[in-house]
Amino acid sequence: MAEKVNNFPPLPKFIPLKPCFYQNFTDEIPIDHQNLVQRIYRLWMFYCITLGVNLVACLAWWIGGGYGVNFGLALLWLLLFSPCSYVCWFRPVYKAFRSDSSFNFMVFFFIFSAQFVLAAIQAIGISNWGACGWLAAVTFFSTNVGAAVIMLLPAIMFTLSALAMFVCLLRVHRLYRGGGGSFQKAQDEWQSGLWRNPPTREAQFSNFSRSSLPEYPTVPNYPGGNRWP
């Protein structure tokens, strides 16, 4: 079997750094859930783009008469949340569907719920929080109309991000509970240590081919996406 080489993030060859993760939806994610996991991945990319647009809007906010602290915080959020959101909630849900890991599902539910609350707060746009949300954009019309119009764009994008996160959270939770997942299963994985390095799908298949019982289910036993309302 060919060795899997890390391929994410896809860095240019002239950068003396190597990718940190291996990601392949077709090979590692069960076919019934590939579409959902890819949508969550695109949601992560959309949120990163939103943070970049928010940085530009905060610059316009500053130039139009706002406070520079918003621009500084917007830059911090972009540099911090872009990689952290990938590591802290996308990778857990990717590994959860890849190996049917209840522990990773629980990590995803906990962190992704906090991410949803954060995106909702950013959509609101509290002053001096580094986010151009609705409150910040609407109240700034009396100061600078041009800057306020630019600030409306990240407000809309933060709102769409929050709504999409809420839908994804419900979707994954329904699939997990429908497949018999529970907090007890996550505790069992933690106590047994399987959460550190759960068997891959190839290893699980190999266990079957040797007529031995696998330590882990071969694929997540969740209902297909088209069976949910």
Write the pLDDT tens digit of every residue in 63-76: 998 889 999 999 99
Check: CB of residue 149 under 8 Å from CB of residue 64.
Answer: no
Q: Of the segments 9-23, 189-203, 212-226, which one has the largest average pLDDT value?
A: 9-23
DSSP conformation class of 86? I
Check: CB of residue 46 under 8 Å from CB of residue 40.
Answer: no
The pLDDT of residue 128 is: 86
pLDDT of 213 > 70? The answer is no
Residue with tokens 């917007």: 74
Check: CB of residue 198 under 8 Å from CB of residue 204.
Answer: no
Write the pLDDT tens digit of every residue in 164-181: 999 999 999 998 887 666
CA 46 – CA 63 distance, rounded (Å): 26
- At 8 the three-state DSSP class reads strand
The pLDDT of residue 206 is: 47
The answer to pTM > 0.95 is no
